């Protein structure tokens, strides 16, 4: 069953057709990778899913509900979390505070005027936050400033912040961009572990084919704003159209 | 205690101690000594310390936590003042309805202004609030003269209705009071050469400031306060975490607007007249400087900043040429003249220059404000102590 359905989505920036007639459906509980060369429209597509951009044409539905016209926080509250290309965390706050914020968002909704309750008094939030920090092996760093974490840890923290909300769909925008090979492998292991433990659907935008082929169950190749092929990893590997789009190879 | 962490409880008690004993602390010099002009323990000035302290505490809830720099907060102070004076005119001289009305009217106005200005952030937000405040100032100074008294200001008169109290007492306009306790009544205590004044109005304001400070600590350590700090550091992540930043910023804006209204109400409770100049943009700038000078985002910083600025405004500005000549009288003639000329630029009417220099020094060397200065001094002492008594870890030889 499809959890996310993208139909005939088009987006134009001035004279540039960033997306033209994209049709894509992501099945529940799968890892679906979206790949494509630079400028293929991957990030634009992602921004159309999370409420940052509104497509000019077409529809986006999540579990049968339209996402168009909803604000980012509303879409998140429906169960869609996003990991950014460069980790977006609360740099001035501690690791623990970073994790507690999504816990509050998950429990209290998008706004709650609890100005006289103490953060310390929220035992359930604290337990929840510590549990997820333990899951990503960051419990001993709980009192560190998020800004002073290493890049890999920032990424783990951001993922933990998304996961603690128990999203149904996790969108990952180049989760291993700029990482060393060892860190990349750690991230892959982390994501696989997450996938095993929870009922979660992942949509990954990625450049690194190593990541894509070690995780994805389904791959869509985007080129110049339109889906080129959609297939299983094995079939994608040798696909002539993909080789052409990526390497500019002439078809033999 | 009171639902606060141990550290914050200590901070609260420090503030209670400071305001309770301010009449002594502010008057360290005997009344007839040469240093007496550095005494700040007179009722008028002490009232201003705590009232502007409230104003700055409220401003800090918006600026210190969310990072939204409002350049129009004096508008709420001014509107609160007008509302307070109107309560004195219509209802009677009890300060409670006046202050309640000040807070309420300032709160309502801040809902409207906040709703519009918070559509933008950063410099655009600052400019919008500045524009609004200047509009309010212009309205108060001219168009709305029947309500605000125009440029002369809004004052009480014998012909006011005052339906709940006497319109006149012995042929005079009655004075503001708290259920009969007159705000201006002062008890003078003379000990040796010292003279200490205990003013009802000051203690009334001081109690309200302590309550306001307590409320601000509670906000700082609440989940709501955590969200406000999250807005300051990364609003994008906050929105993608399912939180709507708009109601949070609006709530912070309204709370700080109500604090400003409370300060305005207390100002007229001490001295029942309100003028448009209270809403001028320099007044808005003053609270920004107070907050940054003391330490934006810290709990006690704004109170210290407000105290420092009001002290300089009232004490440094009183040092005129005659006083300087007296100070430097021991010097040879030419040297005395030179010293007096130089110092005169920084004192008396030139006190703004002193403020500017102090502000620049603090920003450059102590970006965290006076609070950071305090922390560094504390750090120096604790480092010394640590060196004197090496820890156990240092004693055990390394493996």
Chain segment A34-64, per-residue pLDDT in tens: 988 888 888 899 999 999 999 999 999 999 9
In a 10 Å sphere around its CB, with 0-12 CB exposed, 13-18 middle and 19+ buried, how is residue B367 labelled?
exposed
Average the pLDDT over B47-72 and give the result.
96
Residue bearing tokens 């609270």: B287
How high is the mean pLDDT of chain A?
89
Look up tokens 């400070």; give the residue.
B213
ipTM of the assembly?
A: 0.91
- Contact assessment for residue A170 and residue A121, using Cβ atoms and an 8 Å cutoff: no
CA–CA separation, A124 vs B199, rounded Å? 48
Q: How far is CA A244 from the centre of its chain?
A: 27
Domains and CATH numbers, chain A: 2-79+167-247 (3.40.50.300), 90-153 (no CATH)
In B, which residues are within 8 Å of A101 by CB distance? 226-227, 230, 238, 241, 243
Q: What is the mean pLDDT of residues B149-161?
A: 89
Query: What residues have CB less than 8 Å from B186, skipping those under 6 apart?
Result: B43, B197, B198, B199, B200
- Contact present, A163 and A171 (Cβ < 8 Å): no
B159 at A interface, C-beta within 8 A: no
Who contacts B302 (Cβ-Cβ below 8 Å, separation ≥6)? B53, B56, B57, B59, B60, B64, B290, B291, B294, B295, B296
According to DSSP, the residues that pair with B274 across neighbouring strands are B154
Nearest chain B residue (CA) to A163: B241
Please report which confidence band the pLDDT of residue A248 belongs to, taking 50, 70 and 90 as the band edges: low
In order of A39, A208, B269, the CA distances from B87 in angstroms are 65, 70, 10
Which residue matches tokens 């990482």?
A179
Kindly list the residues from chain B whose CB atom is less than 8 angstroms away from the CB atom of residue A96: none
**Once rounded to an integer, what is the mean pLDDT over residues B99-103?**
97
- What 8-state DSSP symbol labels residue A145? B
Stretch A23-36: mean pLDDT: 91
Nearest CA in chain B to A107: B242
Q: Test A88 with B230 for CB contact under 8 angstroms.
A: no
Residue that is written with structure tokens 């005169």 in the block: B344
A123: contact with B, CB 8 A cutoff: no
Inter-residue contact B289 to B271 (CB < 8 Å) = no
As a whole-number percent, the residues of chain A with pLDDT over 70 amount to 97
pLDDT of residue A252: 44
Q: Do B251 and A115 touch (CB under 8 A)?
A: yes
User: Is residue A119 helix, strand or coil?
Assistant: helix
Pull the structure tokens for residue A87: 């980790």
Q: Lowest mean pLDDT: which of A239-243, B77-81, B164-168, B231-235? A: A239-243
The answer to whether the CB atoms of A76 and B247 lie below 8 A apart is: no
Q: Report pLDDT digits (tens) over B276-297.
A: 999 999 999 999 999 999 999 9
Q: Give dist(CA B219, CA A116) in Å, integer.
A: 6
**DSSP character at residue A168:** S
Measured from the Cβ of residue B336, the count of other Cβ atoms closer than 10 Å reads: 16
Under the banding of pLDDT at 50, 70 and 90, the label for residue B392 is very low
CA-nearest of B305, B309, B313 to B366 is B305
Residues in chain B with CB shorter than 8 Å from the CB of A106 are 242
Q: Per the CB < 8 Å rule, is A119 touching B223?
A: yes
Q: Does A115 touch chain B (CB under 8 A)?
A: yes
Given the DSSP bridges, would you call strands B273-274 and B154-155 parallel, antiparallel or unpaired?
antiparallel
pLDDT digits (tens, 9 = 90+) for A173-211: 988 877 788 888 888 888 888 888 888 999 999 878 888
Rounded Cα–Cα distance for residues A36 and A23 (Å): 15
CA of A158: which chain B residue's CA is closest? B237
Report the alpha-carbon distance of residue B115 to residue B38 in Å, rounded. Answer: 44
A95-132 pLDDT per residue, tens? 999 999 999 999 999 999 988 889 988 999 999 999 99
- Which of B237, B245, B255, B259 has the highest number of chain A CBs within 10 A, making it the mutation to test binding with A? B237
**In the 3-class helix/strand/coil scheme, how is chain B assigned residue by residue?**
CCCCCHHHHHHHHHHHHHHHCHHHHCCCCCCCCHHHHHCCCCHHHHHHHHHHHHHHHHHHHHHHHHCCCCCCHHHHHHHHHHHHHHHHHHCCCEHHHHHHHHHHHHHHHHHHHHHHHCCCCHHHHHHHHHHHHHHHHHHHHHHCHHHHCCCCCEECCCCCCCCCCCCCECCECCCCEECCEECCCEEEEEECCEEEEEEHHHHHHHHHHHHHHHHHHHHHCCHHHHHHHHHHHCHHHHHCCCCCHHHHHHHHHHHHHHHHHHHHHHHHHHCCEECHHHHCHHHHHHHHHHHHHHCCCCCCHHHHHHHHHHHHHHHHHHCCHHHHHHHHHHCCHHHHHHHHHHHHHHCHHHHHHHHHHHHHHHHHHCCCHHHHHHHHHHHHHHHHHHHHCCCHHHHCCCC
Q: Which residues pair with A205 in a beta bridge?
A: A34, A173
Contact B87, B154 (CB under 8 A): no
- Among candidates A81, A111, A116 on the partner chain, residue whose Cβ is nearest the Cβ of B247: A111
DSSP H helices, chain A, are 42-50, 72-78, 95-108, 123-135, 151-163, 181-197, 209-215, 233-237, 240-247
Pick the CATH number of B6-318 from 1.10.3470, 1.10.10, 3.90.320, 1.10.287: 1.10.3470
pLDDT per position as a tens digit, B308-338: 999 999 988 888 888 888 888 888 888 888 9
Residue of B221, B222, B230 with shortest CB distance to A90: B230
Helix axes A95-108, A151-163, angle to 10 degrees: 20
- What residue of A is the nearest CA neighbor of B225? A115
B56 interfaces chain A, CB cutoff of 8 Å? no
- Put simply, the chain B residues between 187 and 226 with a CB less than 8 A from any chain A CB are 218-219, 221-226
Q: Is the Cβ–Cβ distance between B367 and B374 less than 8 Å?
A: no
- Say if residues A87 and A63 touch (Cβ distance below 8 Å): no
Distance in Å, alpha carbon of A243 to nearest chain B alpha carbon: 35
Q: Given this model, what pLDDT does residue B391 score?
A: 46
- Cβ of A120 and B222 within 8 Å? no
The alpha carbon of residue A208 is apart from the nearest alpha carbon of chain B, in Å, by: 25
Closest CA to B184 of B260, B97, B272: B272
- Domain spans of chain B? 6-318
Task: Flag whether pLDDT at B383 surpasses 80.
Answer: no
| Placement of tokens 């309750």 in the chain | A117
Query: What pLDDT is recorded for position B397?
Result: 42
Q: For residues A135 and A159, what is the distance between their CA atoms, to the nearest angstrom?
A: 11
In A, which residues are within 8 Å of B234 by CB distance?
88-91
Q: How far is A118 from chain B (nearest CA, A)?
A: 4
Query: pTM for the full model?
Result: 0.92
d(CA B262, CA B278) in angstroms, rounded, equals 14
């Amino acid at each position: 069953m499809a959890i996310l359905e993208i139909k005939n989505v088009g987006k134009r920036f001035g004279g540039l057709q960033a997306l033209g007639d994209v049709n894509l459906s992501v099945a529940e509980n799968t890892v679906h990778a979206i790949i494509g060369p630079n400028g293929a429209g991957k990030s634009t597509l992602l921004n159309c899913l999370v409420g940052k951009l509104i497509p000019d044409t077409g529809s986006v539905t999540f579990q049968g509900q339209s996402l168009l016209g909803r604000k980012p926080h509303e879409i998140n509250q429906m169960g869609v979390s996003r990991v950014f290309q460069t980790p977006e965390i609360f740099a001035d706050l501690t690791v623990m505070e970073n994790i507690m914020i999504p816990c509050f968002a998950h429990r209290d909704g998008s706004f709650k005027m609890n100005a006289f309750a103490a953060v310390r008094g929220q035992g359930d939030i604290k337990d929840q936050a510590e549990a997820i920090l333990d899951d990503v092996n960051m419990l001993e760093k709980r009192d560190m400033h998020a800004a002073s974490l290493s890049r890999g840890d920032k990424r783990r923290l951001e993922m933990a912040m998304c996961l603690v909300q128990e999203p149904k769909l996790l969108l990952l925008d180049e989760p291993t961009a700029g990482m060393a090979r060892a860190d990349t492998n750690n991230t892959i292991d982390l994501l696989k572990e997450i996938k095993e433990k929870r009922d979660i659907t992942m949509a990954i935008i990625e450049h690194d084919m190593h990541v894509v082929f070690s995780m994805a169950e389904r791959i869509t190749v985007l080129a110049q704003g339109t889906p080129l092929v959609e297939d299983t990893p094995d079939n994608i590997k040798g696909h002539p159209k993909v080789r052409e789009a990526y390497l500019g190879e002439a078809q033999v | 205690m009171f639902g606060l962490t141990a550290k914050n409880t200590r901070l609260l008690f420090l503030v209670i101690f400071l305001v309770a004993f301010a009449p002594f602390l502010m008057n360290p010099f005997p009344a007839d000594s040469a240093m007496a002009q550095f005494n700040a323990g007179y009722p008028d000035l002490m009232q201003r310390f705590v009232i502007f302290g409230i104003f700055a505490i409220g401003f800090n809830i918006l600026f210190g936590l969310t990072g939204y720099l409002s350049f129009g907060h004096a508008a709420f102070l001014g509107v609160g003042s007008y509302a307070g004076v109107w309560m004195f005119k219509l209802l009677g001289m009890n300060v409670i309805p006046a202050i309640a009305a000040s807070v309420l009217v300032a709160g309502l106005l801040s809902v409207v202004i906040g709703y519009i200005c918070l559509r933008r952030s950063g410099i655009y937000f600052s400019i919008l609030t500045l524009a609004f405040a200047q509009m309010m100032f212009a309205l108060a100074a001219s168009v709305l003269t029947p309500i605000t008294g125009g440029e002369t200001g809004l004052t009480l008169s014998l012909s006011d209705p005052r339906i709940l109290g006497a319109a006149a007492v012995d042929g005079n306009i009655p004075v503001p009071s708290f259920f009969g306790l007159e705000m201006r009544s002062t008890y003078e205590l003379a000990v040796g050469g010292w003279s200490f004044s205990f003013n009802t109005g000051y203690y009334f304001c001081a109690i309200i400031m302590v309550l306001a400070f307590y409320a601000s600590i509670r906000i700082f350590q609440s989940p709501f306060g955590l969200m406000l700090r999250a807005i300051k550091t990364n609003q994008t992540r906050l929105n993608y975490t399912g939180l709507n930043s708009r109601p949070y910023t609006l709530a912070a804006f309204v709370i700080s607007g109500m604090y400003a209204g409370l300060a305005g109400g207390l100002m007229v409770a001490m001295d029942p007249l309100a003028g448009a100049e209270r809403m001028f943009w320099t007044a808005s700038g003053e609270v920004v400087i107070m907050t940054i000078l003391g330490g934006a985002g810290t709990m006690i910083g704004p109170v210290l900043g407000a105290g420092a600025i009001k002290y300089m405004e009232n004490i440094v500005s009183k040092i005129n040429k005659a006083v300087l000549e007296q100070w430097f009288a021991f010097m040879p003639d030419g040297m005395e003249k030179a010293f007096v000329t130089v110092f005169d630029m920084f004192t008396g009417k030139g006190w703004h220059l002193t403020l500017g220099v102090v502000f620049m020094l603090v920003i450059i060397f102590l970006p965290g404000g006076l609070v950071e200065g305090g922390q560094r001094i504390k750090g120096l002492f604790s480092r010394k102590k640590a060196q004197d008594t090496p820890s156990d870890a240092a004693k055990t030889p390394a493996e």
